[in-house]
Amino acid sequence: MKNEDHLQEIRRQVDMFFDHALSLDDERSLLERVQQDPTYQRVFSHEKTMRDHLRNHVHRPGVSPDFIQSIKDHIRMG
């Protein structure tokens, strides 16, 4: 496998790991490789940082208790 193809395959597996799309066996095998192989480690760490940053920094406006109450009131009246 060419270097670029190999790297792409690692990235595909890492993506699937974070998307919870791997089987338990495949997850375990990937984590073992991450421990042993610096390329796997780099791609894994890179993707984790990216995902954590997205999840932690995306704007989440949320709803107010009044908003929830108004929905409940509407339902009860209906």
Partner 1 sequence: MSNKDKTHFDKVFEEELLPHADALKTFAYHLTYSDEDANDLVQDTYFKAYRFIDKYEEGTNPKAWLFKILKNGYINEYRKKVKRPIKVDFEEIVAYHDSDDDRITGYNDLREDIFQYMMGDEVTIAINALPLDFRTVILLCDIEGFTYEEIAKIIDVPIGTVRSRLFRARNLLKEKLKNYADSLGYKDFRGELRVRNAENRAEEE
Residues 17-36 that bind partner 1 (CB under 8 A): 19-21
Spatial contact of 34 and 41, defined as CB atoms under 8 Å apart: yes
* Separation CA 1–CA 47 (nearest Å): 22
Binding partner 1 by CB under 8 A: which of 8, 35, 39, 41?
Answer: 8
Rounded to a whole number of angstroms, the distance between the first and last alpha carbons of the chain is 63
Residues 40-59 that bind partner 1 (CB under 8 A): 45-46, 49-51, 53-59
Encoding tokens for residue 57? 């920094």
Q: Is 2 in the site for partner 1 (CB under 8 A)?
A: no
Encoding tokens for residue 43? 């791609």
Binding site for partner 1 (CB under 8 A): 7-8, 11-12, 15, 19-21, 45-46, 49-51, 53-63, 67-68, 70-72, 74-76, 78
